[in-house]
Amino acid sequence: MSNNNLKGFNSVFDSTLNNELQDNIIEFLDWNLLGKGNYFNVTKGETSHSNQDYSLLKLSSYPHYSAGQAWDGFRQNWVWQSGVNPPSGMTAPIVGDNHMYPGISGVYVDDTFYASDTTGDYAHTVDYFNGRVVFDSPIPTGSKVQVEHSYKYINVIYGNNVPWLREIQYRTLDVPSNFNNGKGEFEIPSEMRIQLPAIGIEVVPRRSYRGYQLGGGQYIYTDVLFHCIAEDAYTRNQLLDMVSFQNDKTITLFNNNNIANSGAFPIDYRGVPVSGALRYPDLIDNYQSNHMRFTNFTVQGMEIINSNFSAGIARCTVEVIKSNI
């Protein structure tokens, strides 16, 4: 009767190949770009050329929180991972050494420092995806909230999960004069914005198979698009090169289902790293699956949409072996 069973997966609730490929590619790029210097450090009181404070947070406009509870930075996607080996001449990202609270070491409120493990009125968590500090209880809306942190320059995102109604946000590497006064595009909640430059990963519905060995198993070939978007053609071209240079590279995959069954996802539903959160290398070491090879990269659709928006697509086919089909 075993010949009449479905093969290749154990449960309809499992993460299957498309999702596993997408998750692995995003984590592979996100982690390894950090090692290539994909971040900027922000120290307390550091100012831009227009004298705007990079470390200063603004009241969040996200309606889920009470006034004074959530505070947003000018850039999203903060670095929480420790152990990044920076390029020569660069300082490592600003993260604390308390592994119970991965990421930044704390927050300043009216120039008083509150560590990540603070309890009471200024207890807080950090939503790293959205670049946001969330206090357990609201603090006065007139407070001055500052954070020393590092933010990622190139954002690696899910290309097919980005709603069309999200706003592309330009000129986000500087703090505008209206950042903290409740006006302008920064009033759009972080969840509704894409900050450039960005690489969106999309697994497309094109797949082929080839037999692997006598007795079972198959090579699976799946097409993946890398949507490279930037504010200028020069940066877009850099993104396309960074991605397409990975042609014929083989990487190790982590197993999403084993991570889920072990409760080992590093980030919780709030965008907060869990205690002892596993970084990409840790996921590979502890939950190794099989391997994937990037093949047949091509670059297409290089367009300048307007003076602030350039886009291009790098397309490849990824090869994996599944022995259970």
- Write the burial class of residue 300 (CB in 10 Å: 0-12 exposed, 13-18 middle, 19+ buried): exposed
User: How many structural domains comprise the chain?
Assistant: 2
Element (H, E) at 204: strand 198-211
Q: What is the pLDDT of residue 206?
A: 83
Lowest-pLDDT range of 103-107, 168-172, 258-262, 304-308: 168-172
255/305 same-domain check: yes
**Over the stretch 108-124, which tens digit does the pLDDT of each residue have?**
999 999 999 999 999 99
Domain-located, residue 166: no
Domain shared by 251 and 302, yes or no: yes
Instruction: Note whether residue 191 is domain-resident.
Output: no
Query: Is 185 part of any domain?
Result: no
pLDDT at 180: 58
180 found inside a domain:
no
Q: Residue 224 is part of a domain; what is its CATH number?
A: 3.30.2000
- Percent of the chain scoring above 90 in pLDDT: 68
Q: Which domain holds residue 109?
A: 39-152
Residues 58 and 25 in one domain: no
Shared-domain flag, residues 69 and 18: no
Q: Do the domain assignments include residue 183? A: no
How many Cα atoms within 13 Å fall on the side-chain side of residue 298? 5
Distances, alpha carbon 131 to alpha carbons 17, 37, 43, in Å: 30, 19, 15
127 and 63 within one domain: yes
Domain for residue 163, yes or no? no
Lowest-confidence pick of 31-45, 210-224, 285-299, 308-322: 210-224
Tell me: do 226 and 301 sit in the same domain.
Answer: yes
Does residue 57 have a pLDDT over 60? yes
Amino acid in the structure at residue 268: D
43 and 21 in a common domain: no
pLDDT for res 164: 43
The model's pLDDT over 238-255, given as tens digits with 9 standing for 90+, comes to 999 999 999 999 999 999
Ramachandran angles phi, psi of 124, nearest 5°: -155, 165
Say which range, 53-67, 96-110, 126-140, 303-317, has the weakest mean pLDDT.
303-317
Q: Which residues neighbour 301 within 8 Å (Cβ) at sequence distance 6 or greater?
A: 311, 312, 313
**Per the confidence metrics, is the pTM higher than 0.85?**
yes
Question: Which DSSP category does 189 fall into?
Answer: -
Report the first-to-last Cα separation within the chain, whole angstroms: 16
Q: Which of 148, 145, 169 is nearest to 157 (CA)?
A: 169
Quick one: pLDDT at residue 192? 56
> What's the pLDDT score for residue 191?
53
Per-residue pLDDT averaged across 214-236, rounded?
A: 90
Same structural domain, 21 and 79: no
In this predicted structure, the answer to whether residue 165 has a pLDDT above a threshold of 50 is: no
Using an 8 Å Cβ cutoff, are 126 and 104 in contact?
yes
Q: What is the mean pLDDT of residues 258-284?
A: 94
Q: Please check whether residue 79 lies inside any domain of the structure.
A: yes
One domain for residues 17 and 58: no
**Poorest-pLDDT segment among 6-10, 61-65, 135-139:** 6-10
Q: Can you tell me the mean pLDDT for 210-223?
A: 84
Q: Which helix (H) or strand (E) holds 317?
A: strand 309-322
The model's confidence at residue 125, banded by pLDDT at 50, 70 and 90, is: very high
Q: What is the mean pLDDT of the chain?
A: 88
Is residue 178 over pLDDT 60?
no
Question: Is the domain of 130 the same as that of 221?
Answer: no
Bridge partners, 132 (sequence order): 72, 127
Contacts (Cβ under 8 Å, ≥6 apart) of 105 = 95, 96, 97, 98, 115, 116, 148
What's the rounded mean pLDDT across residues 130-137? Answer: 97
Task: State whether 310 and 202 are in the same domain.
Answer: yes
Domain-terminating residue out of 118, 152, 186: 152
Question: Do 223 and 206 share a structural domain?
Answer: yes
Closest CA to 148 of 52, 238, 78: 78
The answer to whether position 165 is within a domain reads: no
